[in-house]
Amino acid sequence: MPDRENRPLVYGLRLGVWYATLFIAGSLTIVLLTYFATSALLAQRDRQIIDSKLGTYAAAYASGGLDGLTEVVRAEQLTAPERLFVRVRDWRGVQAIVLSQFQGWDEGSLETGEIRLPDGTLLQVGKSTDLRDDVLARFRAALGLVTLSIFIIALTGGALATQSAQAPIRKLIAAVERISRTGRTDERVPLVEKRDAIDELSALFNQMLDRIEGLVAGMRGALDNVSHDLRTPMTRLRGSAELALAGPADLDRYREALADCVEEADRVLVMLTTLMDISEAESGAIELHREMMPLFAIVERAVDLYRDTAEAKGVTLESHVDDSVVASIDRLRLEQVAANLLDNAIKYTPAGGRVDISVAREGGQAVLRIRDSGIGIPATELPRIWERLFRGDQSRTERGLGLGLSLVKAIVEAHGGSVNVESTPGQGSIFTINLQLTS
Ligand code: ADP
């Protein structure tokens, strides 16, 4: 897989090139801006000097004429650090007055300014740009060095950035590859605790592994349970048949054995059908035949079904219904839900206890509640009762497959509702179903 191995390198290289380009572009912009700002500042300074001199000289000319001006200029030439060229032109031609080392008025190397005096004379002041050009030339030379340093820093920085950007990605890739190669879902990607995007990705990956691990464990557990739970009826089925065959031919014994076999086979079928129903409901593949139904109709039917069972066990069964509560439901599926919950409530409530089933509207929702005064559910078992094939420790003596509540939850959730339980061991349980109200 050379292609895949090269991918982080390409990514890192791209990052490094980006980093270096941005750094160089940014730095060069700053350097060039500084250069042009300095150049403009120097030019502006020259202009200010020229303007102020023009003012001074014009005043000197006004008070002392050309002689007065010459005197002022000469005096200045002795002390002033910056040599200025001064030229006075009358309307006839050019007349220059004294300037040190003046070799001629070369506009190319001078920054000049002029003012027309009241008598028509043109007063011109020139300032040599040599000094300025010299400063800027040095600046440019320094810029060469700075630019070179910028390139070196950018390329080293880019290379380092490439390295450091690649390192965590390489680690992540190595860990993911190790996990996918070994198939060990208990391995985790190490976190660097830098709280950066790579760490976040690693944490998410670990979370995903946690979930996969949980699901795989759940599936494995369910499969183990199914195999285990199928073994019992299958063994009994085989036992009955074997026993019947072992003895002498006897039609009555055969009949009895076959009846046992049918019973056991039914048990297996119910279990498999329920498991498939749960899977269908959980995956959303279940087809719900929804209709607007008052929930009390569901409750009444379930109560009718279980009245005799409750009576036989000595459990009081009562219903309390608000007949205006209507919801869009699959009648048969919801009857299955109510029947399962009622069956459990009666099954896990000793003689003398009571079971109440009610329908009400609460907080804008349709609520179906089944409350019993039975054995209750220990806190340790509460989160597990919705699992397929889970059976409570105290429930082993009762008949059951451990699939009722899984089916209840799957059907209710397929309806867009929710199911909750509150329970106190020794005092009883309350199962509550919330559904969308439609009236
Ligand atoms: P089962 O066939 O064992 O009743 P269920 O899926 O219906 O399977 O319930 C799972 C477990 O939840 C039961 O084994 C039991 O421990 C517990 N349980 C369910 N309903 C009740 C209840 N009303 N009172 C006490 N325990 C209950």
Is residue 70 scored above 90 in pLDDT? no
Q: Which residue has the higher pLDDT, 123 or 13?
A: 123
pLDDT tier at 168 (50, 70, 90 boundaries)?
A: confident
The C-alpha angle 281, 337, 301, rounded to 5 degrees, equals 140
**pLDDT at residue 325 in the model:** 94
**pLDDT at residue 439 in the model:** 61
Pocket test for ligand 1, best of 344, 390, 391 (most atoms within 8 A of CB): 344
Rounded-to-integer distance, Cα 337 and Cα 8, Å:
54
Is residue 131 scored above 90 in pLDDT? no
Indicate whether residue 229 lines ligand 1 (CB < 6 A): no
Burial 335-353 (b: 16+ CB within 10 A, else e): bbbbbbbbbbbbbbbeeeb
**pLDDT at residue 224 in the model:** 83
Indicate whether residue 348 lines ligand 1 (CB < 6 A): yes
**pLDDT at residue 84 in the model:** 77
Tokens of 176: 């993911």
Indicate whether residue 395 lines ligand 1 (CB < 6 A): yes
362 and 322 in contact (C-beta within 8 Å)?
A: no
Indicate whether residue 390 lines ligand 1 (CB < 6 A): yes
Indicate whether residue 433 lines ligand 1 (CB < 6 A): no
Residue 377 CA: distances (Å) to CA of 273, 373, 428: 27, 11, 8
Atom 17 of ligand 1: nearest residue by CA position? 392
Whole-number Å distance, alpha carbon 391 to ligand 1 midpoint, is 6
Lowest mean pLDDT among 46-55, 108-117, 415-424: 108-117
Indicate whether residue 375 lines ligand 1 (CB < 6 A): yes
Whole-number Å distance, alpha carbon 35 to ligand 1 midpoint, is 84
What mean pLDDT do residues 253-274 have?
91
Tokens of 339: 């029947």
Give the pairing of strands 110-116 and 122-128: antiparallel
User: pLDDT for 280-319, tens place per residue?
Assistant: 888 777 889 999 999 999 999 999 999 999 999 999 999 9
**pLDDT at residue 101 in the model:** 46
Is residue 417 scored above 90 in pLDDT? yes
Is residue 99 scored above 70 in pLDDT? no
User: Which atom in ligand 1 lies closest to the alpha carbon of residue 386?
Assistant: 6
Whole-number Å distance, alpha carbon 334 to ligand 1 midpoint, is 18
Residue 18 CA: distances (Å) to CA of 22, 31, 164: 6, 20, 15
**pLDDT at residue 98 in the model:** 47
pLDDT tier at 1 (50, 70, 90 boundaries)?
A: very low
**pLDDT at residue 5 in the model:** 53
Residue 402 CA: distances (Å) to CA of 66, 125, 287, 305, 407: 121, 108, 24, 21, 10
Indicate whether residue 345 lines ligand 1 (CB < 6 A): yes
User: In one letter, which amino acid is 41?
Assistant: L
Whole-number Å distance, alpha carbon 262 to ligand 1 midpoint, is 26
Indicate whether residue 373 lines ligand 1 (CB < 6 A): no
Is residue 333 scored above 60 in pLDDT? yes
Q: What percent of the chain has pLDDT over 70?
A: 92
Mean pLDDT value across the chain: 86
Q: Which residue has the higher pLDDT, 131 or 22?
A: 22
**pLDDT at residue 103 in the model:** 57
**pLDDT at residue 105 in the model:** 57
Is residue 277 scored above 50 in pLDDT? yes
The residues with which 92 forms a beta bridge, in sequence order, are: none
What mean pLDDT do residues 8-20 have?
73
What mean pLDDT do residues 220-242 have?
86
pLDDT tier at 189 (50, 70, 90 boundaries)?
A: confident
Whole-number Å distance, alpha carbon 264 to ligand 1 midpoint, is 22
Atom 16 of ligand 1: nearest residue by CA position? 392
Is residue 106 scored above 70 in pLDDT? no
What mean pLDDT do residues 237-261 have?
90
Is residue 22 scored above 70 in pLDDT? yes
Indicate whether residue 404 lines ligand 1 (CB < 6 A): yes
User: Which atom in ligand 1 lies closest to the alpha carbon of residue 401?
Assistant: 2
Pocket test for ligand 1, best of 405, 408, 432 (most atoms within 8 A of CB): 405
Q: Is 254 helix (H, G, I), strand (E, B) or coil?
A: helix
168 and 3 in contact (C-beta within 8 Å)?
A: no
pLDDT tier at 7 (50, 70, 90 boundaries)?
A: low
Is residue 188 scored above 50 in pLDDT? yes
- DSSP letter for each residue of 105-159: --GGGEEEEEEE-TTSPEEEEEEE-HHHHHHHHHHHHHHHHHHHHHHHHHHHHHH
Residue 97, Ramachandran bin (φ over 0: left; ψ between -120 and 50: alpha; else beta)? beta
**pLDDT at residue 308 in the model:** 96
pLDDT tier at 100 (50, 70, 90 boundaries)?
A: very low
**pLDDT at residue 423 in the model:** 96
